[in-house]
Chain A
């Protein structure tokens, strides 16, 4: 059997909380983070709902203990806040005592600044501290510099499954012995660029999104960051630090269309199947699925079919928590993994808010209301990206 991978730290920031305790409180009170845009300057302000982190960049900088905003995009600030919480929660005092890597998922990069200054650079020929923050690696390197990591630093970009793939690579690198510990996750702030992008695809719901509902209308975008600390079997020496086990992962490509999912959900099925096979679990061992569940016409029916295909007549509890956090794109994989872990640790299943009517083509409905006192040994989190980059992760109670 391959080496076990443990999660010893978690950190999160999104519209529903600036840290783990606040996030858990919002989830357990079924409090959504959706609302009108406050900080981002866009003409769509009054037309769409988003899940924006309720702090200005200045406030985030002070939370991140960053002295000057120079060279710090919102994406980086969110990353610093979530990764610092993860490092503290794993009680890491000396980063260098173990060979530590950093793997972060990101897609929109520093576009929040590029979209403000692009013509200054191009036409006015005026540079500034954000000219080098445009790419996806910038936020990752800011974290690496903060934590003093040099052994292995990389950035994954598979669109909305980026953070899930970052966690997966981290786990594999611990298994193969190249690293002993990995800070893995992802970060993304809202930008005009991707709000307009999703809007041009006509998949933004102007009202609160309703994943898995017959009358679903699309996505609400969100922003945030999440990081986990992954460790190998050395973690067994301090079992009190272990939050849970990452027991399975699967990555498959749907190879169907750049933005659409196949009607039968083949890619989603393959990713979940690989994760399950790897964990050595039976479908009936999975107590809960945190679905990708974006709320688009296409995704939810495709993912639903994949779940039915794999789980047959005994479908686990399913919910999409995107009505809480919005679709946090590159960070979604880790944010929803952490939400699944919080549910498992606290014997709760968080609901799929705004659901009322089952999809005609599907045989199941998602969880409508919070389920308390429910023991879950194993939970699965799905993350799917443009281009059919699908990844599933399985988390298990540590015993």
Chain B
């Protein structure tokens, strides 16, 4: 377990300012959602350093720095990132130049920044942080693996705190390619209506969310992150059911102690069925909050879900735009965050009010 004591987020919503949370939701007709960029990154990154950094690297560094500042920590005990696709823009630039120029006149910058660990190592370079550093790149487990690694390091006494982030970017080209798989809505849709119109596919998105996890509770703490479970390709929802049961049992809790479910429902009726089954079988009377209509679907979208859950526990209120099923709960003690990507990578996190 650990405490979430700092958050930094750049997303398709106005989330850079930790003082307010989702008071005004961004509402647009879109095939996919992209992040709101700050007016300038200069405030966060020295311009000489940022000269070669692509958008995702700047977003990652900036949200990491906001998260550390929020927690009042300068040099974390570990930097661990999760990203399903890494630096897509640099990868595409290098790949297309290579194909167009028949393997000549290639820019080394795009190549060296195409590796998935670029963000975690750039953060370490900026912070002069020589501590543990790693990157996970496993689809809907990318962010979860990073969280699990951080919890383990802290439990072992190898770190007192850790900076953990989930980052993915969506480029126009990448959208064009993934849409060939039929997982995206064919027509532009109002994102705030997405979950009310279940159908085929969803709206893809992107984001960068960093958390500063601490071993001890402190004044900036949002909530406690009690534990995490993952399950790869369960035969049916029962695989997830067992993980949730175990997680609750390990912390001496029952279904009745859960005051809110935060779920990764994304409007794709084929895969949203898991969420419905978990809700009706385990928590039929529990209210549900959702988030993917705000950030879109992407490999590390669960980090946005965790941002939502942490803020709900701290503020003790569910933003109206996120309230999905049931009444807005009051006195929110424990939250289960359940997410899956395309029905393959399922993850469950248990969070508690401090």
Chains A and B come from one and the same complex: yes
User: Is B98 within 8 A of A119, CB to CB?
Assistant: no
Q: Which residues of A contact B272 (CB under 8 A)?
A: none
Q: Is the CB of A153 within 8 A of B141?
A: yes
Q: Does B113 belong to the interface (CB within 8 Å)?
A: yes
Given contacts A135-B139, A192-B98, contact A157 B86 (CB under 8 A): yes
Q: Which of B30-38, B148-156, B207-215, B324-332 contacts A (4 or more CB under 8 A)?
A: B148-156
Query: Given the interface contacts A155-B136, A387-B120, does A119 sit within 8 Å of B128 by beta carbon?
Result: no
Mark contacts of B134-163 with chain A using CB atoms, 8 A cut-off: 1 yes-contact digit, 0 otherwise: 111111010001000100100110000000
Say whether B84 faces chain A, with CB atoms less than 8 Å apart. Answer: yes
Smallest CB-CB separation from B346: which chain A residue? A150
Q: Is the CB of B112 within 8 A of A165?
A: no
A contact residues around B129 at 8 Å (CB): 253, 255
- Interfacial chain B residues near A172, Cβ < 8 Å: 152, 156
| CB-CB under 8 A for A158 and B145, given A43-B103, A150-B234, A386-B112 | no
Bound: A192/B134 CA distance, A? 26
- Is B48 on the interface with A (CB-CB < 8 A)? no
Between A44, A115, A118, the greatest number of chain B beta carbons within 10 A of the residue's beta carbon is seen for: A118
Interface size class of A (residues with CB under 8 A): 35 or more
In the assembled complex, how far is the CB of residue B229 from the closest CB belonging to chain A, in whole angstroms? 10
- Report if A389-B134 is in contact (Cβ < 8 Å); known contacts: A201-B112, A255-B124: yes
Task: State the total of A-B contacts with C-beta under 8 angstroms.
Answer: 189
Do residues A157 and B116 form an inter-chain contact, with CB atoms below 8 A?
yes
Contact indicator B113/A199 (Cβ below 8 Å): no
Q: Tell me how far the C-beta of A235 lies from the nearest C-beta in chain B, rounded to whole angstroms.
A: 21
Residue of A nearest to B121 (CB): A387
Q: Which residues on the B side are within 8 Å of A194 (C-beta)?
A: 111
- CB–CB B102/A43 < 8 A: yes
CB of A106 within 8 Å of the partner chain: yes
Q: Encode A190-201 as 1/0 by CB contact (under 8 A) with B.
A: 001110111111
Nearest residue (CB) in A for B86 is: A157
Pairwise interchain contact B130-A252, C-beta atoms closer than 8 A = yes
Contact indicator A152/B230 (Cβ below 8 Å)? yes
State whether the Cβ of B1 lies closer than 8 Å to any Cβ in chain A.
no
**Measured between alpha carbons, how far is A137 from B120 in the docked complex, in Å?**
19
Do B116 and A136 touch across chains, with their CB atoms under 8 A apart? yes
Measured in the bound complex, the distance between the Cα atoms of B139 and A95 in whole Å is 24
Distance in angstroms between the alpha carbons of A175 and B121 in the assembled complex? 27
Q: Is the CB of B152 within 8 A of A197?
A: no
The 8 Å CB contact of B95, one of A115, A157, A159, A251, is A115
A155→B136 CA distance, assembly (Å): 6
Given contacts A150-B233, A253-B129, contact A200 B107 (CB under 8 A): yes
A151 to B346, CA, bound (A): 11
Shortest CB distance B243–A (Å): 10
Once A135-B137, A150-B232, A386-B117 are accepted as A-B contacts, the answer to whether A122 and B132 lie under 8 Å apart by CB is: no
Question: What is the predominant secondary structure among interface residues of chain B facing chain A?
Answer: mixed
In the complex, whether A33 has a CB less than 8 A from a CB of chain B is no
Chain B min CB distance to A204 (Å): 12
In the bound complex, how far is the Cα of B94 from the Cα of A197, in angstroms? 8
In the complex, which of the residues A115, A122, A149, A253 contacts B232, with contact meaning CB atoms closer than 8 Å? Answer: A149
Q: How far is the CA of A107 from the CA of B112 in the complex (A)?
A: 12
Contacts of A196 in B (CB 8 A): 94, 98, 103, 106, 111
B173 interface hit (Cβ, 8 Å): yes
A132 lies within 8 A of chain B by Cβ: yes
Bound-state Cα–Cα, A43 to B107, Å: 17
Instruction: Pick from B13-21, B174-182, B216-224, B301-309 the stretch touching chain A.
Output: B174-182
A156 to B127, CA, bound (A): 22
Shortest CB-to-CB span from B275 to chain A, Å, is 19
Q: Which residues of A contact B (CB under 8 A)?
A: 42-44, 106-107, 111, 114-115, 118-119, 121-122, 125, 127, 131-132, 135-137, 140-141, 144-145, 149-159, 165, 169, 172-173, 175-176, 178, 192-194, 196-202, 251-259, 266-267, 270, 385-389
Other A-B contacts than A149-B232, A200-B111, A385-B115, 17 sampled, CB-CB below 8 A, are A131-B181, A132-B181, A135-B139, A137-B139, A150-B233, A153-B141, A154-B145, A156-B136, A159-B116, A159-B117, A176-B155, A196-B111, A200-B106, A252-B133, A258-B118, A387-B120, A388-B121
- Mark B residues whose CB is within 8 Å of A: 79, 84-86, 94-96, 98-99, 102-104, 106-108, 111-118, 120-122, 124-125, 127-139, 141, 145, 149, 152, 155-156, 173, 176-177, 180-181, 230-234, 239, 344
22 inter-chain pairs at a CB distance below 8 angstroms, sorted by A residue, are: A118-B99, A122-B177, A127-B180, A131-B180, A141-B139, A152-B232, A153-B138, A154-B141, A156-B134, A157-B137, A158-B117, A158-B135, A159-B117, A178-B152, A196-B106, A197-B94, A253-B79, A255-B127, A258-B113, A387-B122, A388-B121, A389-B120
6 closest A-B pairs by CB: A387-B121, A197-B111, A253-B133, A157-B116, A200-B108, A127-B180
